A = this chain, B = another copy of it.
């Protein structure tokens, strides 16, 4: 593997001169430049950015630590991150924590060691130690999707507002007994969504008796288990509110097993859209998050910090959610009506 020294030798110049050609920095005569470029081509020289990073203390690498790339919401966020990052010349290292604090911490440690220039982190836990660790090393950080009790840049959706809208929608449809299939208590978005749900019910003067909040995992299995619990109740709620897309799918499956129809027997709404591309027949009423925008915005914010934007005041960007009404929340089955948002 050729080094800059080899290039310099072959071109009959000093290494620093070759460096100047490679980085188009400083003055180099056309003649010299030509010779260096020829040497580079002849040797198939590839600059070693590791060495450069050691000197310059910039790796042009961002760390993206999220819970599970398999969830299309995160996939879309990741794509937003990667697009903005690569546009700015940064690479992205991707890690899946599966909501495990241990994994999260291990990843963060390694990525700090690898000198990532900045972090985009979805904390597995409100009390995540990772945030403190990153801040202690003075590495720029943007927290994604969730809040933590610390002064830190954050980009997230308006979970409270979205949940409020979704619950309002159900109330307007005439539902009074609405069960919430929530995520874990330790995750801020779960609690925010519960808060929005409660606010809507409070406003509507719905009895405490008719409120049900169950806490579980943000997974299909979680949604399935919570729904099973709900179905054992008597009287049963007339509507279910799933706190994310996976929970909704699990709930749907449990309902199907119980031979209950949506929306005939029970209405179902959810936070997070399922990607329209992958639903031949979009069906679920949702509060859709702007996932791609979240990734973009967070990365722009992070890159801003890297280029020295004053970070003394942490910024918090809250993106709105979009209520998309589809068939799953309609009293009367409207099997053949065209959907509000098309497959396009």
Contact = CB atoms under 8 A, between A and B. Distances in A.
Interface string A42-63: 0010111111011000010100
A50 B111 CA distance: 11
A334 interface: no
Contacts of A72: 72, 75, 278
A23 B228 CA distance: 50
Contact of A54 (B50, B76, B86, B95): B50
Interface stretch (A121-129, A150-158, A245-253): A245-253
A136 B2 CA distance: 12
Interface of A: 1, 44, 46-51, 53-54, 59, 61, 68-70, 72, 75-76, 78-79, 82-83, 86, 91-96, 107, 109-115, 136-138, 220, 245-246, 249, 252-253, 256, 274-275, 277-281, 283-284, 343-344
A62 to B, nearest CB: 10
B59 A70 contact: no
A74 to B, nearest CB: 9
A272 to B, nearest CB: 11
A61 to B, nearest CB: 7
A278 B274 CA distance: 7
B94 A137 contact: no
Given A1-B138, A46-B113, A94-B94, 10 more contacts: A47-B113, A49-B110, A69-B75, A69-B82, A72-B75, A82-B96, A91-B110, A256-B343, A278-B279, A279-B279
A328 to B, nearest CB: 9
B284 A280 contact: yes
Contact of A46 (B46, B112, B220, B245): B112
The 4 A-B pairs with the shortest beta carbon distances in the complex, nearest first, are: A49-B113, A253-B343, A94-B94, A49-B114
A91 B78 contact: no
A61 B272 CA distance: 32
A117 to B, nearest CB: 11
B93 A92 contact: yes
B95 A94 contact: no
Contacts of A68: 79
Contact of A344 (B61, B75, B136, B253): B253
A277 to B, nearest CB: 6
Nearest to A280: B252
Contacts of A76: 70
Contact of A78 (B44, B69, B83, B281): B69
Nearest to A51: B54
Contacts of A112: 46
Contacts of A256: 343
A122 to B, nearest CB: 15
Nearest to A106: B86
B113 A48 contact: yes
Contacts of A274: 278
